[in-house]
């Protein structure tokens, strides 16, 4: 579904109902508070209408003092009681509404966090995600838009029902026989009055829809500008990785130029807003005018009937009040209907995003405890989504338990992609990957993932405590975390941290958090992989940011770190892979050589020989 799609009435209804149901996941009962508030807001005016009419009828009729006092006391008491309850409920409603922002954004971010990795890398999905947040935040369209119209709808319906109940007797009071106004009771006039009643009911929704449609179309047109706006104002200037380059290369210039361009977009955007608002106002104003004219005619009808003596002044007040409320009710229902209708394309975007399936999470087989974890790539080829080039071509490799493998090759030869397939961040385009002879798709995704301890080349640490980063949980085993950090060569640095494992990494959440160097971060990431104690340990350029001494330390401990695990080292530094018995050479997405260091060096025309000598020459005197 998209904003340009047309929905059937049934689809419209189910979108709204699904949206309302989603509010159940909110921590506060937003819809309940809104409904109660709406019921009170709509019902209270009727107390005054009803009692004012009773008082006037009493004054014009029997004039009983006792009854008058009772009516006045009841009016004041009910008003007072309702106002107090109204105040309390509207405070509660405001509190619930306030909390709903967090809840709605949590629904989105929970989804984003649990999505398949390949979808996170999909620019169009991320564009839609950004658009959903932008629309919700800046224009209000989306899930959170529902509360307003739902409230208006409830208010409107209550007004209509109560007004009809009060005005029911309008047609039963007849103009006394023989007076010149008896034509007011003719069936034709009654039909005309009913049509005038129905006029706004039929026209206002149509005009409201036309008004709101302008927004839907215009917001879709400004998608690009909105995305840039979000990125510039919310992300780019806070990103301290780019901050260095921005300063050194004076990238402010290019950002300012882009911003100027975006302001041009934004200017267009403003124009679109102005146009949308004007367009909307035109339709809404016409609707309001029609509703008021119809109401005016109805008032005239009531006044004429009163003039003709069909009923007294009290009933006149009652009918006038009921008609006013009826008009307001119709207009509220129709406005709400229009808003809900126009919000639906935005709501559909939410559901499109929330419904993106977790394709990876289809299997349910347990990996279980096993002493054997053999993984086999069988004729695996891979093309990245939305690309048409093979990044891996016909790879067949088997990893046996406890072996040490190295994957080497030039940049862009497909090493990291191979690792992404190995740990199932992507599925192969062709061929199969098997764990203990069973297709890895058959296994429960999280269980399969758990057999790997990985350090990616572009790993990420979170701005939480050191211990939490290593253990990836809140309550961790201090001793085990300490040992893992020690194996990763971080123990010396740990002694300088006054809060030890409780030290916050980075200063984003804690002022006394520590800024760590790239090499230190890499050691922590390595400790995290060690802590997991999984059957496979995979290190993608694990020492890229380490100094030579630290690199030497890590590699000399590699056997200890890997223990009985199957280890896969990915590196373009061939010297660091020498200790592996099985070196796999990747080139342009294919495995072109395989063997141990000495065997591979024998082939002087081979890629390994070329890569080895290219690096070795800088170390030879």
Q: Residue 382 Cβ, how far from ligand ADP at the closest point, in Å?
A: 9
Among 213, 305, 404, 415, binds ligand ADP (CB under 6 A): 415
Question: CB-wise, 123 or 474, nearer to ligand ADP?
Answer: 123
Q: Which of 494, 475, 474 is nearest to 484 (CA)?
A: 494
Q: Is 345 in the site for ligand ADP (CB under 6 A)?
A: no
Q: Residue 390 Cβ, how far from ligand ADP at the closest point, in Å?
A: 10
DSSP type of residue 175: P
8 by Cβ neighbours in 10 Å (0-12 / 13-18 / 19+) ranks as: exposed
Question: CB-wise, 147 or 571, nearer to ligand ADP?
Answer: 571
DSSP calls for 502-519: GPBBSSSS-TT-B---HH
Q: Residue 503 Cβ, how far from ligand ADP at the closest point, in Å?
A: 32
> Among 196-204, 411-419, 497-505, 558-566, which window interacts with ligand ADP (CB under 6 A)?
411-419
DSSP type of residue 176: P
Question: CB-wise, 269 or 416, nearer to ligand ADP?
Answer: 416
Question: CB-wise, 82 or 544, nearer to ligand ADP?
Answer: 544
Question: CB-wise, 258 or 394, nearer to ligand ADP?
Answer: 394
Q: Is 542 in the site for ligand ADP (CB under 6 A)?
A: no
User: How many chain residues are in contact with ligand ADP, going by CB under 6 A?
Assistant: 12
> Among 82-90, 182-190, 311-319, 415-423, which window interacts with ligand ADP (CB under 6 A)?
415-423
Q: How far apart are CA 538 and CA 419, in angstroms?
A: 8
Q: Is 7 in the site for ligand ADP (CB under 6 A)?
A: no
Question: CB-wise, 114 or 411, nearer to ligand ADP?
Answer: 411
- The edge-to-edge listing of strands for the beta sheet with 536-540 is 452-455, 536-540, 566-571, 404-409, 582-587, 590-595
Among 136, 417, 469, 566, binds ligand ADP (CB under 6 A): 417
Among 208, 416, 465, 593, binds ligand ADP (CB under 6 A): 416
Among 121, 444, 486, 582, binds ligand ADP (CB under 6 A): 121
Q: Is 133 in the site for ligand ADP (CB under 6 A)?
A: no
Are 132 and 142 contacting, i.e. CB atoms less than 8 angstroms apart?
yes
Q: Residue 460 Cβ, how far from ligand ADP at the closest point, in Å?
A: 16
Q: Residue 615 Cβ, how far from ligand ADP at the closest point, in Å?
A: 16
Among 8, 371, 411, 617, binds ligand ADP (CB under 6 A): 411
Q: Residue 387 Cβ, how far from ligand ADP at the closest point, in Å?
A: 5
3 state SS of 455: strand
How far lies 368's CA from each of 407, 435, 447, in Å? Answer: 28, 12, 8
How far lies 479's CA from each of 475, 482, 485, in Å? Answer: 12, 5, 10
> Among 207-215, 413-421, 487-495, 531-539, which window interacts with ligand ADP (CB under 6 A)?
413-421
Are 134 and 226 contacting, i.e. CB atoms less than 8 angstroms apart?
yes
> Among 140-148, 319-327, 408-416, 528-536, which window interacts with ligand ADP (CB under 6 A)?
408-416
Q: Is 140 in the site for ligand ADP (CB under 6 A)?
A: no
> Among 197-205, 297-305, 412-420, 476-484, which window interacts with ligand ADP (CB under 6 A)?
412-420
The full 3-state SS of 434-447, as one line of letters, equals EECCEEHHHECHHH
457: Cβ contacts below 8 Å, ≥ 6 apart: 416, 540, 541, 544, 570
Q: Is 404 in the site for ligand ADP (CB under 6 A)?
A: no
Among 384, 464, 506, 599, binds ligand ADP (CB under 6 A): 384
> Among 151-159, 360-368, 404-412, 444-452, which window interacts with ligand ADP (CB under 6 A)?
404-412
Torsion of CA 378, 384, 388, 394, to 10 degrees: -10
Are 350 and 18 contacting, i.e. CB atoms less than 8 angstroms apart?
no
Are 479 and 531 contacting, i.e. CB atoms less than 8 angstroms apart?
no
Are 60 and 312 contacting, i.e. CB atoms less than 8 angstroms apart?
yes
Q: Is 387 in the site for ligand ADP (CB under 6 A)?
A: yes
576 by Cβ neighbours in 10 Å (0-12 / 13-18 / 19+) ranks as: buried
Q: Residue 408 Cβ, how far from ligand ADP at the closest point, in Å?
A: 9
Q: How far apart are CA 546 and CA 423, in angstroms?
A: 25
Q: Residue 417 Cβ, how far from ligand ADP at the closest point, in Å?
A: 3
Q: Residue 117 Cβ, how far from ligand ADP at the closest point, in Å?
A: 10
Q: How far apart are CA 579 and CA 574, in angstroms?
A: 10
Q: Is 593 in the site for ligand ADP (CB under 6 A)?
A: no
> Among 99-107, 183-191, 222-230, 405-413, which window interacts with ligand ADP (CB under 6 A)?
405-413
Q: Is 33 in the site for ligand ADP (CB under 6 A)?
A: no
Length of the chain: 621
Among 321, 345, 414, 489, binds ligand ADP (CB under 6 A): 414
Question: CB-wise, 36 or 584, nearer to ligand ADP?
Answer: 584
Q: Residue 577 Cβ, how far from ligand ADP at the closest point, in Å?
A: 14
CA quadruple 300, 305, 309, 310: dihedral sign? negative
Q: Residue 208 Cβ, how far from ligand ADP at the closest point, in Å?
A: 45
Q: Is 130 in the site for ligand ADP (CB under 6 A)?
A: no
Cα atoms in the 13 Å half-sphere on the side-chain side of 160: 16
Cα atoms in the 13 Å half-sphere on the side-chain side of 267: 6
Q: How far apart are the first and last CA of the chain?
A: 66
3 state SS of 478: helix
Q: How far apart are CA 267 and CA 225, in angstroms?
A: 10
Among 27, 176, 412, 463, binds ligand ADP (CB under 6 A): 412
Among 34, 347, 391, 406, binds ligand ADP (CB under 6 A): 391
Structure tokens belonging to residue 408: 């080497």
Structure tokens belonging to residue 482: 């300490």
Binding residues for ligand ADP (CB under 6 A): 121, 384, 387, 391, 409, 411-417
């Amino acid at each position: 579904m998209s904003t340009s799609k047309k929905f059937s009435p049934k689809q419209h209804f189910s979108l709204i109902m699904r949206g309302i149901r989603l509010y159940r996941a909110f921590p506060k009962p937003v819809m309940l508070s809104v409904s109660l508030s709406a019921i009170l807001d709509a019902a209270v005016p009727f107390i005054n209408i009803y009692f004012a009419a009773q008082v006037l009828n009493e004054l014009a009729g029997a004039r009983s003092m006792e009854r008058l006092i009772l009516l006045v006391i009841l009016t004041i008491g009910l008003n007072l009681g309702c106002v107090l309850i109204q105040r309390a409920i509207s405070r509660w409603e405001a509190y619930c509404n306030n909390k709903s922002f967090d809840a709605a954004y949590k629904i989105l971010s929970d989804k984003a966090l649990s999505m398949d990795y390949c979808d996170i890398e999909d620019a169009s999905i991320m564009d839609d995600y950004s658009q959903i947040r932008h629309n919700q935040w800046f224009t209000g369209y989306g899930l959170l838009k529902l509360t307003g119209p739902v409230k208006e709808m409830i208010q409107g319906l209550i007004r209509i029902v109560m007004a009809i109940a009060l005005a029911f007797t309008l047609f039963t009071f007849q103009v006394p026989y023989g007076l010149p106004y008896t034509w007011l009771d003719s069936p034709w006039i009654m039909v005309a009055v009913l049509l005038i009643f129905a006029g706004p009911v039929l026209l206002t929704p149509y005009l409201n829809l036309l008004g709101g449609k302008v927004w839907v179309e215009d917001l879709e047109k400004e998608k690009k500008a909105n995305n840039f706006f979000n990125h510039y104002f919310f992300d780019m200037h806070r990103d301290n990785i780019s901050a260095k380059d921005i300063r050194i290369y004076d990238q402010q210039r290019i950002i300012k130029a882009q911003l100027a361009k975006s302001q041009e977009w934004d200017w267009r955007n403003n124009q679109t807003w102005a146009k949308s608002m004007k367009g909307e106002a035109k339709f809404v104003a016409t609707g309001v005018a029609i509703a008021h004219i119809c109401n005016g005619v109805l008032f005239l009808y009531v006044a004429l009937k009163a003039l003709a003596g069909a009923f007294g002044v009290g009933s006149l007040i009652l009918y006038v009040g009921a008609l006013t409320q009826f008009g307001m009710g119709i207009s509220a229902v129709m406005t709400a209907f229009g808003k809900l209708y126009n919000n639906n394309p935005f709501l559909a975007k939410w559901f499109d995003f929330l419904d993106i399936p977790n394709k990876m999470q289809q299997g349910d087989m347990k990996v279980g405890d096993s002493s054997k974890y053999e993984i086999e790539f069988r004729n695996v080829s891979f093309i990245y989504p939305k690309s048409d080039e093979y990044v891996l071509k016909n790879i067949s490799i088997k990893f046996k338990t406890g072996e040490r493998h190295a994957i080497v090759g030039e940049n862009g030869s497909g090493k990291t992609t191979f690792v992404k397939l190995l740990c199932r961040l992507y599925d192969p385009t062709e061929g199969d990957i098997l764990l203990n002879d069973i297709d890895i798709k058959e296994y429960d995704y999280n269980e399969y993932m758990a057999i790997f301890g990985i350090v990616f080349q572009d790993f990420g640490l979170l701005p939480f405590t050191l211990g939490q980063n290593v253990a990836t949980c809140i309550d961790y085993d201090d001793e085990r975390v300490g040992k893992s950090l020690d194996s990763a060569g971080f123990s010396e640095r740990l002694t300088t941290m006054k809060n030890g494992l409780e030290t916050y990494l980075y200063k984003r959440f804690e002022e006394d958090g520590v800024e760590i160097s790239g090499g230190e971060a890499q050691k922590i990431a390595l400790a995290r992989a060690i802590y997991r104690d999984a059957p496979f340990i995979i290190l993608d350029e694990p020492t890229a940011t380490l100094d030579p001494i630290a690199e030497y330390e890590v590699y000399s401990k590699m056997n200890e770190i890997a223990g009985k695990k199957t280890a896969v080292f990915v590196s373009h530094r061939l010297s660091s892979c020498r200790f592996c018995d099985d070196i796999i050479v990747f080139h342009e997405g294919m495995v072109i050589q395989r063997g141990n260091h000495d065997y591979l060096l024998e082939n002087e025309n081979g890629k390994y020989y070329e890569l080895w000598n290219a690096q070795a020459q800088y170390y030879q005197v």
